[in-house]
Structure 1
Amino acid sequence: MSVVLEGVTKRVGAETHIRDVSLALDKGSLNVLLGQTLAGKTSLMRLMAGLDAPTEGRVRVDGRDVTGWPVQRRNVAMVYQQFINYPSLTVYENIASPLRVARLPRAEIESRVREAARLLKLDPYLQRRPLELSGGQQQRTAIARALVKRADLVLMDEPLANLDYKLREELREELPRIFAQTGAIFVYATTEPAEALLLGGRTASLYQGRLTQFGPTAEVYRRPDDLTTARVFSDPPLNTLRAVKAAGRVSLSTGGQVRAAGSLASAPDGSLTLGFRAHHLALDPLPAEAIAFPATVEVSEITGSESFVHVAAGEHRFVAQVPGVRRLEPGTQTVLHLDPRHLLVFDEAGRRAAAAPAQAAA
């Protein structure tokens, strides 16, 4: 099975929720929709499911135009943020409910429910009711009910957002294994770049209803096509500064000049925007080619295993994500160091202007 969106646009009144999106999803694939709140993730899923019809464009399944088909005619399952289960039914009956509606034979229902329960590690809880379960177990039940339908397309709209940190981490690690054991197309929406990286597969970066890039998740992260995609795929927010390259030298808006090394070596002369992620900034000296600039500490956030140091460098505000406990008092003068191999380089229009070397994968 394949799902293809062709120039899909969705307008509601004067607002455009989806803008000319074309996307092809292959059978057995895991696809992540990554974007901030209101980027268009849910709207795009509703178009895929048939809950909404596009204002323009086409939706095709295995080459067949299904644009006008309602959700009832499509083999689709959805999982939402909320734990949508029937409180009066046992876990077993919750999982079995779509199969009973479809009037499948009792033996088939039993087989599918047991298979889904095993996959989601719900075997010990089949006779409990949802309110007797933890949040993670309730969401596992909702996921099992989606999988048991053996739908061709499974849509998951930020399904872990309402879980606590430990439960999110647990399910994030398990979901790729669960996805791999089915032949369905999975579409998983998230606002978190780290979640997209953990899930893998392919990622579609969305911004204000536009698709900015679609490809293997690691590739989109390492080599964003434009500044917008780089920002969508960065948490903490992407650090940026302005630069001008001429005759093998680069003048920085933080002050000073550096030799055009690393990613800057292949960039064209002219005005550029340099992007770099928080974990690529260091407080300790780096090799000789590193870019260094003075900064003033504004606040330090210590999480235990790492620290987030917010600094001011002239007119710029940067965040450095450094390992360990680095307790720097506000007003402390420091020097930031940046390896030019990790720079993302964009032209004046925000398009990628230099190929990021393979070493910039981290």
Structure 2
Amino acid sequence: MALELKNITKKVGGQIHIKDTSLVLETGYFNVLLGKTGAGKTSLIKLMAGLDRCASGSIIMDGQDVTRLSTQKRNISLVHQFFVNYPHMTVFDNIASPLKVAGMAKSEIQGRVEDAADILQLRPMLSRYPHELSGGQQQRTALARAIAKQSNAVFLDEPLANLDYKLREELREQLPELFAGRGTVVVYATSEPEEALLLGGKTGLVHDGHVTQFGNTADIYRQPMDIVSASVFSDPPINQITVTKKGATFKLDAASVEWTANGTTASLSDGSYIMAIRPNNVLPVKTKAATVAVTGMITVTELSGSESSAHFSFAGQNWVSLAHGIHPYEIGADRTFYMDPAHCFFFSPDGQLVA
């Protein structure tokens, strides 16, 4: 089973909203669409689900052209970030609703609903109504409906966004197992790079209505093909600055900072490059690897669990450091951070990865 997008586009008010996109999404793993809010993830899902029409191109599902088929005829399930359950129906009837519409026998409906309820730990709640459930239970009901339907494709549009932290962690761990071995194409949209990494599988990076890169999630995290992809796959935002290489030396154009090129960067030609480094590789303490010092004025600080982040003004740019542990920062004060050159990406002036 595969879901293939062939040169699909979407227009809104005569303007191109989804640019020419071709993808092959397969079973056996999560297919993640990662991008910031407004990048086009939901629009792509609506096209795949048949909720919106393609301006051009075609959608092939299991070898069949479904481009012009209605949503009902595509045998798909869609789970939104909001708890979409029928308030006048019990949990049992909510899970069973697409099966009843399909005219399935009562005995088969009973079995499918109970199996899905057991998987999602909803058996004690089958006689309850949505208003009697917690947010997590309501979302599990929506997921159970998708599992019971046994769809060819399941689209999960930021399904955990409105849950509290603990529930998100629990369901995030369970989701890959829930759909494992079901022969279903699973497409999961998220705006969080960390979530894409945790889910694994394959990821399509979405920016401005265009999939900039698609492949194994870990691979494209380690080697984004251009500066746009690197930016999409970084939260907090990836740090960027222009550097010049001359001989064996790199120098930041807007600061008196330089270091010796080594590894793959040593073979780069002399010239100007865009250098980028993720915030977790810019540290407030010097280590054996993080040796290149950059100093800037602290503008914003945040504590998140066991991590400390600091935004600082450096060479006319807003940079971010993200470090484990609690680190004292003073707003308005200068602070020196240390970066590891081995974790720097280098892009050509037009934004393509070179090292």
Verify same fold: TM over 0.5: yes
More deviation, 221-230/99-108: 99-108
DSSP 3-state at the match of 1:57 = strand
Residue in structure 1 matched with residue 195 of structure 2 by the alignment: 195
Identity across matched positions, percent: 47
Alpha-carbon deviations, 1:271-327, whole Å to 9, x = none?
A: 111111111111111227732122222232122411111212231221111111112
CA distance in structure 1 between the partners assigned to 2:225 and 2:48 by the alignment: 25
CA distance in structure 2 between the partners assigned to 1:123 and 1:75 by the alignment: 25
Alignment of 1:55-66 (within 5 A): 55-66=55-66
DSSP 3-state at the match of 1:328 = coil
| 1:298/1:311 contact within 8 Å kept | yes
Alignment of 1:88-103 (within 5 A): 88-103=88-103
Residue in structure 2 matched with residue 248 of structure 1 by the alignment: 248
| 1:267/1:345 contact within 8 Å kept | no
| 1:263/1:340 contact within 8 Å kept | no
Superposition deviation, residue 158 in structure 1: 0.9
DSSP 3-state at the match of 1:108 = helix
Moved over 6 A (4+): none
DSSP 3-state at the match of 2:330 = coil
| 2:3/2:25 contact within 8 Å kept | yes
CA distance in structure 2 between the partners assigned to 1:261 and 1:147 by the alignment: 51
Superposition deviation, residue 266 in structure 1: 4.3
TM, length-normalised to structure 1: 0.94
Alignment of 1:148-297 (within 5 A): 148-253=148-253, 254-262=255-263, 264-287=265-288, 290-297=291-298
> What code does the residue aligned with 1:21 have?
T
CA distance in structure 1 between the partners assigned to 2:267 and 2:212 by the alignment: 23
Residue in structure 1 matched with residue 318 of structure 2 by the alignment: 317
- Structure 1 pair 96/336, CA: closer, same or farther in 2 (3 Å)? same
DSSP 3-state at the match of 2:228 = helix
- Structure 1 pair 266/217, CA: closer, same or farther in 2 (3 Å)? farther
Alpha-carbon deviations, 1:220-239, whole Å to 9, x = none?
A: 11110110011111100111
Alignment of 1:47-126 (within 5 A): 47-126=47-126
| 2:257/2:293 contact within 8 Å kept | no
| 1:34/1:205 contact within 8 Å kept | yes
Superposition deviation, residue 165 in structure 1: 1.8
> What code does the residue aligned with 2:28 have?
G
> What code does the residue aligned with 2:243 have?
A
Residue in structure 1 matched with residue 344 of structure 2 by the alignment: 343
Superposition deviation, residue 251 in structure 1: 1.2
Aligned residues: 354
Q: Which runs of 5+ in 2 are unaligned?
A: none
Alpha-carbon deviations, 1:201-227, whole Å to 9, x = none?
A: 100001010110000111111110110
CA distance in structure 1 between the partners assigned to 2:99 and 2:323 by the alignment: 51
Superposition deviation, residue 164 in structure 1: 1.7
| 1:29/1:184 contact within 8 Å kept | no
CA distance in structure 2 between the partners assigned to 1:67 and 1:248 by the alignment: 54
CA distance in structure 2 between the partners assigned to 1:24 and 1:341 by the alignment: 33
- Structure 1 pair 120/273, CA: closer, same or farther in 2 (3 Å)? same
> What code does the residue aligned with 1:170 have?
E
Alpha-carbon deviations, 1:19-68, whole Å to 9, x = none?
A: 00000011333100111111111111111112222111111123332222
Superposition deviation, residue 149 in structure 1: 0.6
| 2:18/2:44 contact within 8 Å kept | yes
Superposition deviation, residue 140 in structure 1: 0.4
| 1:31/1:187 contact within 8 Å kept | yes
CA distance in structure 1 between the partners assigned to 2:290 and 2:150 by the alignment: 54
DSSP 3-state at the match of 1:221 = helix
- Structure 1 pair 288/130, CA: closer, same or farther in 2 (3 Å)? closer
Matched, 1:131 2:131: yes
Residue in structure 1 matched with residue 146 of structure 2 by the alignment: 146
DSSP 3-state at the match of 1:81 = coil
> What code does the residue aligned with 1:315 have?
G
